[in-house]
Chain A
Amino acid sequence: MNEEKELTEETQPLVLKRLREKFPDALLADAEVSNGISIVVNKENSYAFLEYLKTELAYTLLVDITAVDNSNLESELLQYDYARFMVVYQLYTFEGETQRIRVKVPVHEKDLKVPSVTSLWKGANWLERETYDMFGIDFEGHPDLCRILMPDDFEGHPLRKDYPLRGRGERERFNFDKQNA
């Protein structure tokens, strides 16, 4: 069911066709998945791409922003020039046939900057903060990029693969005094 089909000219969804025409160079990969399409876009064009999806193609609901640390996933690393992180956007439209679009943006560890989409969706604010908190992705243009789930003085990014599940001793020693300042 989740097998990614090779798309020919006739079978591809209309949305994908328009995207291919509009962004011929930005699309690194695309595939049809069981409930929509999945697209990989380069970082330079990600903002324009998402803006186009929202304003022109009516993908008005930003469902989710998250990231994946691909450092242990060889196939993805090889495919995208050893980009460690993949920022994943999930979009939804209330109209049209292809209801869900997944946009993935590869991010190298050396340059963790990704354009923020808070100007497009207000809901992106906390999602980007969470992705920053958990992975350390730096969303450029975010109004207040700070930790959201972990305490402010926490060090490290827990969902990175090199961070241990049981932490680095934070749960035994933590700051009792900084609360409710």
Chain B
Amino acid sequence: MQAGMERTTGEKMVLNFGPQHPATHGTLRIVLELDGETVLKATPHAGYLHTGFEKLGEHLDYNQYIVVTDRMNYLSPLSNNFGYVLAVEQLLGIEVPKRCQYIRILMAELSRLADHLLWLGTAALDLGAFSVFLYSFREREKLYSIFEKTTGARLTTSYTRVGGVFRDLYDGFETDVRDFITNLPKALKETHTLLTRNRIWMDRTKGVGAISPEEAINYGLTGPCLRATGVSHDIRKAEPYSSYNEMKFEVPVGTNGDVYDRYLVRMEEMIQSCRIVEQALDNLPDGPFSVEDNKIMLPHKSDAYGHIEGLIHHFKIVMDGHGVQPPLGDHYCATESPNGELGFYIVSDGSGTAYRIRIRPPSFFHFQALPHMLEGGMVSDTVAVLGSLNVIAGELDR
């Protein structure tokens, strides 16, 4: 009889993991069936943060709903704002000015950086690398101050409006952002020295939680988790929205689809995002930052206070049933959020409130595929795999 064979007793133990557990980043819950240290069966449970976003969409008007999208994926609210207003604009059939498209791309890419940085910090923290957490938060705080100066809030930005953004970039934005993107690669290099060739990090992530490209597509994975398996799919490239067709960037892909590859893909995506930000800054066009249509965008405050037309336009947009009113119909619009495909399916009945808003969250699919990645592995890998997927509860449960 070989030693080691005796480690498993054949008796099952059920381990309840979450919803309150340091590694669940919020409110995820997994019920694990263990045989010794081996995971036999994993059952993820969702819904602990169900907030009723979709129902709320049927009661708020199109611009009010932007506030709600902030709170969905709270790591990168600007991406959500962007995806949502893009869907409404496509439903309306309007296109925003070039400058606005560039501003949105800038903010979306910066929030992708913010999202990946936080992911990096917490995923490393889960595996015991505390210093990475502090390093990535140091960089994130710089982003927070840029967001705050631009939008007025650190986290819940509500920056976009249907038809534009609510104000232009501040003076000195360019200096701040250029300063940030020149320093970020240096900071990432620090992380690379801490993790990428670190024996412990490699042992705990390589070959752990692997998924094949076919399985990943079957489960509906998108974003970095799909690209880590080797599928080069990025909505910014496949169906370029806004002005992404004018940006040059690479889509990093992995090979094994394991935790380590997801880490490398995200690290490289940050560098690519820096490239996009740089290009957007270089080519930032002048002009209006929102559509000049008084039926869609609120007039400037001075106009609303100083002129009767401005006041009437303001009144008409703000009053219930007079604001943005897309024609009867439905539309699905997908954008590449930091986590993957973020889709908004909006059904309009022609009134100022959506008839139905459906949000297609990337995290929902990632969390669903978790058992496939866990079963047969070790119980301690659960934390590594869960951390690598970056499941955001707000987006998962909506």
Given known contacts A63-B343, A149-B47, A158-B52, A75 and B368 CB-to-CB distance under 8 angstroms: no
Q: State the Cβ distance, A172 to closest chain B Cβ, in Å.
A: 16
Task: List chain B residues, Cβ under 8 A from A180.
Answer: 16
Q: For the complex, is B250 an interface residue (Cβ under 8 Å from A)?
A: no
Which residues of chain B from 53 to 101 have any CB-CB distance to chain A below 8 Å in the complex? 54-56, 58-59, 90-93
**A64 and B368 within 8 A (CB):** no
Q: For the complex, is B295 an interface residue (Cβ under 8 Å from A)?
A: no
Among A64, A73, A150, A165, which residue has its beta carbon within 8 angstroms of that of B345? Answer: A64
Q: State the Cβ distance, A41 to closest chain B Cβ, in Å.
A: 16
As a 0/1 sequence over residues 224 to 246 of chain B, the CB contacts with chain A under 8 angstroms (1 = contact) are: 00000001010000110000000
Interface range for A: 35 or more
A152 and B355 alpha carbons, distance in the complex (Å): 27
Top 9 nearest A-B pairs (CB, nearest first) are: A123-B220, A1-B93, A149-B47, A149-B50, A64-B360, A66-B358, A126-B368, A123-B219, A68-B356
**A122 and B219 within 8 A (CB):** yes
**A62 and B220 within 8 A (CB):** yes
Q: For the complex, is A174 an interface residue (Cβ under 8 Å from B)?
A: no
> Count of B residues near A, CB < 8 Å?
49
Q: For the complex, is B135 an interface residue (Cβ under 8 Å from A)?
A: no
Q: For the complex, is B364 an interface residue (Cβ under 8 Å from A)?
A: yes
Q: For the complex, is A116 an interface residue (Cβ under 8 Å from B)?
A: no
Given known contacts A73-B349, A102-B332, A149-B46, A61 and B55 CB-to-CB distance under 8 angstroms: no
Task: List chain A residues, Cβ under 8 A from B219.
Answer: 121-123
Of all chain A residues, which has the CB nearest B349? A73
A122 and B219 alpha carbons, distance in the complex (Å): 5
**B46 and A125 within 8 A (CB):** no
Given known contacts A3-B93, A63-B220, A158-B52, A72 and B329 CB-to-CB distance under 8 angstroms: no
**B55 and A159 within 8 A (CB):** yes
15 CB-based A-B contacts, threshold 8 Å = A1-B93, A2-B327, A34-B90, A63-B343, A68-B355, A90-B332, A99-B239, A122-B368, A123-B218, A127-B364, A148-B46, A150-B50, A165-B56, A165-B59, A180-B16
Of all chain B residues, which has the CB nearest A120? B218
Q: For the complex, is A26 an interface residue (Cβ under 8 Å from B)?
A: no
As a 0/1 sequence over residues 35 to 68 of chain A, the CB contacts with chain B under 8 angstroms (1 = contact) are: 1001000000000000000000000111110101
Q: State the Cβ distance, A96 to closest chain B Cβ, in Å.
A: 12
Chain A residues within CB distance 8 Å of chain B: 1-4, 33-35, 38, 60-64, 66, 68-69, 72-73, 75, 88, 90, 94, 99-100, 102, 121-123, 125-127, 130, 134, 147-151, 158-159, 163, 165, 180
A123-B218, A151-B47, A165-B52 known; 15 new pairs, CB 8 Å cut-off, are A2-B326, A2-B327, A2-B331, A34-B90, A35-B239, A38-B330, A63-B220, A63-B334, A64-B360, A102-B330, A102-B332, A126-B46, A126-B368, A148-B47, A150-B47
Task: List chain B residues, Cβ under 8 A from A72.
Answer: 349, 355
Main secondary structure, interface of B, reads mixed
Q: For the complex, is B194 an interface residue (Cβ under 8 Å from A)?
A: no
**A2 and B329 within 8 A (CB):** yes
A75 and B372 alpha carbons, distance in the complex (Å): 43
Q: For the complex, is B134 an interface residue (Cβ under 8 Å from A)?
A: no
Given known contacts A126-B368, A150-B50, A165-B55, A63 and B239 CB-to-CB distance under 8 angstroms: no
A73 and B58 alpha carbons, distance in the complex (Å): 13
A121 and B365 alpha carbons, distance in the complex (Å): 12
**B47 and A73 within 8 A (CB):** no
Among A121, A126, A159, which residue has its beta carbon within 8 angstroms of that of B218? Answer: A121
Q: For the complex, is B341 an interface residue (Cβ under 8 Å from A)?
A: yes
A122 and B181 alpha carbons, distance in the complex (Å): 40
Task: List chain B residues, Cβ under 8 A from A69.
Answer: 356
Given known contacts A125-B368, A150-B50, A64 and B358 CB-to-CB distance under 8 angstroms: yes
Q: For the complex, is B318 an interface residue (Cβ under 8 Å from A)?
A: no
Task: List chain B residues, Cβ under 8 A from A4.
Answer: 329
Task: List chain B residues, Cβ under 8 A from A159.
Answer: 54-55
